[in-house]
Structure formats: structure tokens, C-alpha cells
Amino acid sequence: MTLFAAIRRWLDERFDWDDLLAPLRHKTVPTHRLSYWYFLGGITLFLFVIQVLTGILLLLYYRPGANEAFESVQYIMTRVRFGWLIRSIHSWSANLMIFTAFAHMFSVLFLKAYRKPRELTWVSGVLLLFLVMGFGFSGYLLPWNTLAFFATTVGTAITGQVPIVGRPLMIFLRGGPQVTGATLTRFFGFHVAVLPGIATVLILLHLLLVQRPGMSIPPKLEVQWTANPSARREMKFFPNFMLRELMAWYAALGVLGVLAALFPWNLGVKADPFASAPAGIKPEWYFLFMFQTLKLIPSKVWFIDGEVLGVLGFGLVGLLWLLLPFFESDQPAHMKRWITGLAVFALAYVAGMTVYGYLAK
Amino acid sequence: MAILRNRLRSFRAARSVGLAGFLVLAACLSYGQTTNSCLDCHSALPDPLGVTQEKFSQDIHAQKGLTCASCHGGDPTSDDPDKAMSRKAGWKGKIDRKQVPELCGSCHSDPAYIRQFDPSLRTDQLGQYRTSVHGKRFAAGDTKVAVCTDCHSVHDLRAPSDPRSTVNPVNVANTCARCHADADYMKGYSIPTDQFAKYSASVHHQALAVRGDLSAPTCSTCHGNHGAVPPGVDKVQNVCSNCHAFQAQMYEKSTHKKAFDEASLPGCVVCHSNHAIRHPSDAYLGTGPEGVCMRCHKPGDHCDQARAQLLSSLSQLDEAIKSANQILLVAEASGMEVSNARLAQDQARDSLTKARVAIHSFQKNLVDEYIQAGLKIAAKDLQAGKDAMVERNYRRLGLGISLLAIGLVLSGLRLYRKKIES
């Protein structure tokens, strides 16, 4: 008997381990020409795990505080053995994770995987997307460099535009009327304690919600497979799909390694609150479509302040986006095409505005 | 009833205050219409008699409450031209050019009068003017030389701090050039008229007019404005030390100081020229067209050898800094963190600047002191750059090995998957 089998037997005798793993053994994944989109959620999860691991390693040396943060990251980049690699992987992985989270959301949207009975899976997923953007926003400030400082100043000022609750919210985020060391300390708290706590709960919920009804099948294929059950193609989740997912994770690890080694994440220049903002300052790419939209809105639309209108507009769109599955029919024949049209428009808008914002001066 | 009576009383009081206010306003308006009747006519007249309200309102004197009558006399409150411009009312008409310095000085040399407008404004301009070449020639009857209004303008005279003022540092050279660059006007004075052209090509003009550095010198910085040269300066060429203090201190102790004085050579100007001062370069120590040493020294003599050694030292440090910078830039472009070494490069450049300043002492030991300090820093930076490049290559090697391992695992997973699915 091998050691592995002995441990398994030991656990099985005590916890009925085999019974616990039975759902995984019985779980299947539909096989069709669009199956590869199923990998995106797993890759996002893998990148999140990378974030947690590299984040813990960074915590060993990072010191939050206006007088220490930049120097500690500089120390990590120059003195700590493989510190540059850990920090670069953390930064690149964060960006890739947000990208794969967006890609995962749009794939779910186009394949109509959000429809009944998976509405809550969609809701938890969109909340997770908002959360990873929050991770990005809070983590961006932590090296306390010039770009991060002014991006946070602009970002939190936009929050302040929300009527009634905006200013108190801005003060809460900044820890005062201005971005200072107090902002850095609380962003650090959000980034390493509050957001990971919420994210862990939401990820577990999201995974549970994915497991219960099984993998979604595109509506047209579902109709065909219902009419002709013999055409149904499936593979076992474990080990067949898991092996493929594992290969995708390895590929993602390779991409991360290439990015971190060839393009180590820049440290920038230490933030100087008394210096003027660099010309043409822009937020991170995942906020660029919103930033560019706010820039294009006139300062006054009728009697409403343009920026307030923009912020409220994005708030409303975000809420409707969260509730999108509830506007869909559960009958494949009555699928609402406007939702697909909306998805195409949203993708084109986000991509177009991001490119425009990147090119705009 | 009592409440009603009280309210009526307040209403009557308010009405009385309103009526009084109206009367005061009307009086002010009617007064304002007749305070400066001069402009009523002169704003409609062509040049040189024309002075518009808009132009005069820009004048510092108008802004301080002075009127045309303050200089020209007369009665600006009268709408009748005969009364307004009557000799009885003190009207002086056009101010004779010969009277201008005295007229301006009548206020500007009176500390008690000037203090009420600007306590920090000097009141010695007229006295200084009388000591200047302009003032002396003017006193001798030459009315072509500059008087106050030629430089400061008239009727739209602005404070020197105003960028539109003709005597703002940025505009001074143009103001002086109006006469001094006009060969016809300057005929008979036997002084060159190419100073402005030369100055326009100089490093000082570049700093002042192009970079907007108001500390850079213009004509009046060296030549004085109303007449007096800067304190402690006996010759115009010695004003360089006012800004270039270190160079001057070293020059004062050098062998050149004595030699130049004995030969009556004008110090700094011998090598750097005066109006056409270019940005100095190490080539000044060379033997090429820009070289200045060999204008006096003979090839192969002791000084020529010292010159060659100084040039060699400067070039050595310059090259060392450039080499370190080059490798650090490549390392930085490769994503390596070399900001500390890049910062240290500034110290190496400082040493080079100090060595260049020390050239004015013409002492090799002093120059070498800075050169050695700079070389030490540059060597450290070069090593930091080389280390960064070694680290970069190490990372790339590590990446290659990691990718190979990932590739092997992927192939293994693929084979295993095929095996269990076959």
C-alpha cells in the first residue's frame, strides 16, 4: 500500500472522505465547441490564489506609512532575495486577474450562462468583479508613488461627487479631507483584511453556486441536446477537466513569469503631496473607460453637474448590471435578444473607451 | 399700534439712509465725470497728443490716483478747454525733454511723498542718473541720451514687476536696444551697436528670455540702471562675481589675476567675452577653434601642458559619468531598479561641475580633488549598472529554465490526459 493510499484510508475511516469527494467524482462538464470558455473562471481563481500567496510574502517586508511605504517596496525590489519577482508577479497577476474576471463575465453574458437557475451565481460574480476592482484601487496606492498618490486623489474625489453620501464617503476613504498617510494606512487595511475577507466568503459562495446546478450549456445547444439526448457530450470534472484546467493554470504561470522577468513592475517616484499632479495623469486601465466617460460629459447637463450625472449614471448602470439575469426569460425560445445586443454594446463601449482613454492626451 | 409705529419708524429711517446714499452716489458720479476732462478730448486726438482712457488706466501713476495735471498742470475738473489749459491754472503743456528728469525727480526724489504710495521704493534715481553716462551727457546738453521716459515709457508706465513693463527684466534688453542697436541714432558716440545682437545669442539671454529665469542677467544687471554700478564693483567686467561667486574667488587667488591685472586685461571677459557669452564647454581648454588658452600661451610651454592635463581630467570624468549613465539607462529600461545609482549620478555630475569651476583657480591639485571624488562615484555607479545587467541576465536565465520546466509539466499533463482518455 502506498503512503498516499494509506493516508486516504486513514481519512476515510474517520471522515468518510470518499463520500465527501463523491460529488467531485460524479461532476461532469459539457463538451462542445465553446467549452474552453469554462477555463476563465478557474484561471481567475488561480490568479487570486497567486495574489494571496505573493501578498502574504510581500507583507513580510511591506510597511504601511507615508514615510516608509515607498522605501519598503524599494527594499523589496532591490534587497530582498526574489523580492522583485514576488512584487512583479503580484502586480502583473492583479492586472491579469482583473482582465480574466472581465473576460469571464462577458463569456458568461454571451453564452447566457446567467439565466435561471444561475441568477445568484451571476450576482455573486459581478460583486466579485467589483471587489477585484476595489483590490486594484486600494493596492495601487500602497507603493506610495506619485502616480498612485494622484490617481487615488482623483479617484476618491470622484467618489465625493455622489450626492449626500459622497463627501462623508470620501472623508472615510481618505481618513480626512486630503490623501495622506492616513489614507495609505486604511487602504492597506482594506487591501489585506477587509477585501480578502469579503472575497473569500463570496468566492466560496460563487463556487458553491456553480457546483449546485452544474455547468451551463449555451441555449441553442441545450435545445438540441434536450431533443436528442444521445448527442450530449460530457467529460468528467475529475480528472479530465481538472487536467485541462491545470494546464491552463500552468500556461498562466508561464505568462506571469515572462511578464515579471522581462517587464518588472515599475516602482516610480516617491509621492510628494506638495508637488503638482503630473500632466495627463490617468487611472489604471480597468478604470479608464469610466474616467474617459466622465471627461467627455459636459460640465453641466441641463441643471445637473456633469460629473455628478456621470457618477450617478455609472452607479445605476452597475446596479442594473448586477440584476441583469432578472430581465431574462428562462425559456430558450423567448430569450431576450436585447440583452445580447446590450452585451455587445457594453463590450464595445468598455474596449473603445479604454483605447480612447489610453490614446487621449 | 406700538409695533406698527415702530415698523413705520424703521421704514422712515431706511428711507432717509437710502436718499442720502443716492445723493452721495450722484455726487460721486458727477465728480467722476469732471475729474479728468483732459482725457475727454485727448482720447479722441491722434498721436502724439492722443491718450486713451484705456491706455492711461494701465499707468501706475493713474492707478495710484495721479492725473494728467500731476505732471502737466492745469485744471482737469473744468470742461472748458481754455480754463483747463490756462497758464493761470499752472498748465505746462508738452513737457520739454530737458525738464523730464527734474520733473520725475520732483516726486521720486522726495522720500516723504513717495512713502505714502510705496515705502520700499527708492528715491535716489535722479541722483544716480546724474552720475551715469546718460546723466552726464544730458547735463552737458546732449538731449539724444536717454531720459526717464525713454526707458520707462509715458502715459502707460507700468511697475517693473509687470511683465509688460519696458523695464521688466525680460524686456530691458529690447528697451536698451531701441537706441543702442540703432547705428544711425548712435552715430557720433563711437561705441559699438552690436551688443544686442551678441547678447541675443548669449547664454544669459537664453536663460532669461527662453527659460524665463529672472535671475539671469540683462543689460542693467551689469551696467546698472539709473547710473550706479552694483556695490563694490569698480569695473563692469567685475560684476560677473556678483553671480559667479565661486569662479571669482578662485580667479582672485590664481596666477592669472596678477598677470591679467599687469597686462590691463579685463578678467573674465578675456576668455568668456562680454555680451556674446556662450555656454562654456571643456573645449575652451582645447586647442580647437573654441579653445581660449592658446590665444595667449605658446604650444608646448608649461601652461600648455597644464592645460592639456586639466582637459584630460575633465574629459576622463565626463566619459566615466556618460559610461555609467549609459549602462544604468539600459538597466532601467530592462526594468531593473537602479534609482539609487541614478541619484548618485547627480553627485558625480556635481563633482564635474565643481571641477569645472575649480578650473578658474588654474591649480591642478584642486581640480583633481573634485575629479577623483567624481570618478569614485561614477565607478560605483558603473558597477551598479553592471551588477544590474548581470542580475537581469540571471533573471532571464531563470525565466528560461522556469519556462522549460513549465513546458515539461504541460507536456507531461498532456500525455497523461491522452493516456487516460484513450
Provide the 3-class DSSP secondary structure of residue A40.
Answer: helix
- From A78, which residue of chain B is nearest by alpha-carbon distance? B337
Which backbone phi and psi does A236 adopt, to 5 degrees? Answer: -70, 140
A274 to chain B, closest Cα gap in Å:
21
ipTM of model: 0.85
Which residues of A are less than 8 Å from B416 in CB distance? Answer: 243
First to last CA, chain B: 111
- Between A61-65, A338-342, B85-89, the lowest mean confidence (pLDDT) is in B85-89
- Element (DSSP H or E) covering residue A236: strand A234-236
Separation between Cα atoms, residue A15 and residue A48, nearest integer Å: 29
Which residues of B are less than 8 Å from A267 in CB distance? Answer: 337, 339
**Prior bond of B76 cis (ω within 30°):** no
pLDDT at A297 over 90: yes
Residue-wise pLDDT tens digits, B299-330: 988 899 999 999 999 999 999 999 999 999 99
> Mean pLDDT, to the nearest integer, of B294-299?
90
What's the Cα-to-Cα distance from B327 to each of A260, B263, B386, B411, rounded to whole Å?
21, 49, 7, 39
Residue-wise pLDDT tens digits, B332-365: 988 898 989 999 999 999 999 999 999 999 999 9
pLDDT at B19 over 80: no
Residue-wise pLDDT tens digits, B201-245: 999 999 998 888 999 999 998 888 888 555 555 666 578 888 899
Q: Choose the closest CB to A250 out of B395, B396, B410.
A: B410
- From A85, which residue of chain B is nearest by alpha-carbon distance? B395
Higher pLDDT, B21 or B73: B73
Q: Is B402 within 8 Å of A250 when comparing Cβ atoms? A: no
Q: Is B421 within 8 Å of A246 when comparing Cβ atoms? A: no
Longest Cα–Cα distance of chain B, Å, equals: 124
Q: Choose the closest CB to B335 out of A254, A257, A264.
A: A264
A26 band by pLDDT with thresholds 50, 70 and 90: confident
Which residues of A are less than 8 Å from B336 in CB distance? Answer: 264
Do the Cβ atoms of A297 and A102 come closer than 8 Å?
no
Provide the 3-class DSSP secondary structure of residue A144.
Answer: coil
Q: What are B48's three cell numbers?
A: 502724439
Which backbone phi and psi does A305 adopt, to 5 degrees? Answer: -65, 130
Is A78 within 8 Å of chain B by CB? yes
Mutate to test the interface with B, among A247, A255, A259, A263 (most CBs of B within 10 A): A247
pLDDT at B252 over 60: yes
Percent of chain B having pLDDT more than 90? 57
B112 band by pLDDT with thresholds 50, 70 and 90: very high
Which residues of B are less than 8 Å from A262 in CB distance? Answer: 335, 396, 399
pLDDT at A337 over 90: no
Q: Output the DSSP codes for A276-342.
A: PPPTT----HHHHHHHHHHHHS-SEETTEEHHHHHHHHHHHHHHHHHTGGGGS-SSGGG--HHHHHH
Contacts of B70 (CB under 8 A, 6+ apart): B61
Residue-wise pLDDT tens digits, B169-191: 999 999 999 999 999 999 988 88
- From A266, which residue of chain B is nearest by alpha-carbon distance? B335
So what's the pLDDT on residue B15?
54
Residue A301 is given by DSSP the state: E
Is B395 within 8 Å of chain A by CB? yes
What's the Cα-to-Cα distance from A326 to each of A79, A287, B47, B81, B140, rounded to whole Å?
53, 26, 81, 88, 100
So what's the pLDDT on residue B230?
55
- The one-letter code for the residue type at B171 is N
Separation between Cα atoms, residue B398 and residue B182, nearest integer Å: 73
Do the Cβ atoms of A170 and A152 come closer than 8 Å?
no
So what's the pLDDT on residue B9?
52
- Between A292-301, A331-340, B271-280, the lowest mean confidence (pLDDT) is in A331-340
Separation between Cα atoms, residue B329 and residue B346, nearest integer Å: 14
Mutate to test the interface with A, among B336, B395, B397 (most CBs of A within 10 A): B395
> Mean pLDDT, to the nearest integer, of B118-126?
92
Do the Cβ atoms of A135 and A199 come closer than 8 Å?
yes
A106 to chain B, closest Cα gap in Å:
28
Helix ranges (H only) for B263-363 are: 268-272, 302-333, 339-358
Which residues of A are less than 8 Å from B417 in CB distance? Answer: 240, 243-244, 247
A129 to chain B, closest Cα gap in Å:
29
pLDDT at B21 over 70: no
Mutate to test the interface with B, among A91, A253, A256, A269 (most CBs of B within 10 A): A253
Separation between Cα atoms, residue B406 and residue B400, nearest integer Å: 10
Separation between Cα atoms, residue B267 and residue B261, nearest integer Å: 8
Q: At what angle do helices A83-110 and A242-262 cross, to 10 degrees?
A: 130
> Mean pLDDT, to the nearest integer, of A241-245?
94
Which residues of A are less than 8 Å from B396 in CB distance? Answer: 261-262
A273 to chain B, closest Cα gap in Å:
20
Helix ranges (H only) for B35-87 are: 37-42, 53-57, 60-63, 68-72, 81-84
Domain ranges across chain A: 34-218+235-279
| Beta strands in B163-274, from DSSP E residues, in sequence order | none
Contacts of A297 (CB under 8 A, 6+ apart): A306, A307, A309, A310
So what's the pLDDT on residue B274?
86
Q: Is A247 within 8 Å of B416 when comparing Cβ atoms? A: no
Torsion (CA) B298, B300, B305, B311 in degrees, nearest 10: 70
Other Cβ atoms closer than 10 A to A309: 17
Is A247 within 8 Å of chain B by CB? yes
Q: Residue A236: which region, alpha, beta or left (left: phi > 0; alpha: psi -120 to 50)?
A: beta
Class of domain A34-218+235-279: mainly alpha
B23 band by pLDDT with thresholds 50, 70 and 90: very low
Separation between Cα atoms, residue A85 and residue A258, nearest integer Å: 11
Separation between Cα atoms, residue A166 and residue A157, nearest integer Å: 9
A169 to chain B, closest Cα gap in Å:
37
- From B336, which residue of chain A is nearest by alpha-carbon distance? A264
pLDDT at B6 over 70: no
What's the Cα-to-Cα distance from B133 to each of A300, B196, B223, B227, B229, rounded to whole Å?
63, 19, 11, 7, 11
B419 to chain A, closest Cα gap in Å:
11
Domain ranges across chain B: 307-392
Radius of gyration of chain A (CA): 23
A72 band by pLDDT with thresholds 50, 70 and 90: very high
- Between A91-105, A315-329, B75-89, B405-419, the lowest mean confidence (pLDDT) is in B75-89
pLDDT at B11 over 90: no
Percent of chain B having pLDDT more than 70? 89
Residue-wise pLDDT tens digits, A150-167: 999 999 999 998 888 999
On average, the pLDDT of chain B sits at: 87
> Mean pLDDT, to the nearest integer, of B238-256?
89
Contacts of B128 (CB under 8 A, 6+ apart): B135, B224, B225, B226, B227, B228
Separation between Cα atoms, residue A132 and residue A138, nearest integer Å: 10
Cα A3 from chain centroid (whole Å): 39
Is B339 within 8 Å of chain A by CB? yes
User: Which residues sit opposite A305 in a β-bridge?
Assistant: A300
Residue-wise pLDDT tens digits, B355-409: 999 999 999 999 999 999 999 999 999 999 999 999 999 999 999 999 999 999 9
So what's the pLDDT on residue B8?
47
On average, the pLDDT of chain A sits at: 93
Q: Is A77 within 8 Å of B337 when comparing Cβ atoms? A: yes
B31 band by pLDDT with thresholds 50, 70 and 90: very low
Cα B270 from chain centroid (whole Å): 24
B337 to chain A, closest Cα gap in Å:
6
pLDDT at B147 over 90: yes
Q: Is B337 within 8 Å of A258 when comparing Cβ atoms? A: no
Q: Is B417 within 8 Å of A254 when comparing Cβ atoms? A: no
Torsion (CA) B245, B246, B249, B251 in degrees, nearest 10: -110
Is A263 within 8 Å of chain B by CB? yes
Cα A275 from chain centroid (whole Å): 32
Which residues of B are less than 8 Å from A261 in CB distance? Answer: 395-396, 398-399
Among the listed residues A50, A262, A54, A265, the one whose alpha carbon sits nearest the alpha carbon of residue B395: A262
- Element (DSSP H or E) covering residue B250: helix B245-253
Residue where the block lists cell 542677467: B217
Higher pLDDT, A109 or B10: A109
Which backbone phi and psi does A74 adopt, to 5 degrees? Answer: -60, -40
A250 to chain B, closest Cα gap in Å:
6
pLDDT at B91 over 90: no
So what's the pLDDT on residue A1?
66
Which residues of A are less than 8 Å from B410 in CB distance? Answer: 247, 250-251
Q: Is A262 within 8 Å of B396 when comparing Cβ atoms? A: yes
Separation between Cα atoms, residue B71 and residue B56, nearest integer Å: 13
Higher pLDDT, A267 or A188: A188
Residue B155 is given by DSSP the state: S
pLDDT at B18 over 70: no
| Beta strands in B269-402, from DSSP E residues, in sequence order | none
- The one-letter code for the residue type at B384 is A
So what's the pLDDT on residue B234?
64
Q: Choose the closest CB to B421 out of A85, A240, A250.
A: A240
Mutate to test the interface with A, among B337, B403, B410 (most CBs of A within 10 A): B337
So what's the pLDDT on residue A148?
93
Q: Is A253 within 8 Å of B406 when comparing Cβ atoms? A: yes
Separation between Cα atoms, residue B280 and residue B272, nearest integer Å: 8
Is B396 within 8 Å of chain A by CB? yes
pLDDT at B27 over 50: no
B352 to chain A, closest Cα gap in Å:
26
So what's the pLDDT on residue B141?
93
Apex A191 CA angle, A187 and A197, nearest 5:
130
Separation between Cα atoms, residue B406 and residue A174, nearest integer Å: 43
Residue where the block lists cell 495627463: A280
A287 to chain B, closest Cα gap in Å:
25
> Mean pLDDT, to the nearest integer, of B59-84?
88
So what's the pLDDT on residue B398?
95
Is A246 within 8 Å of chain B by CB? yes
CA atoms within 13 A on the CB side of A280: 5
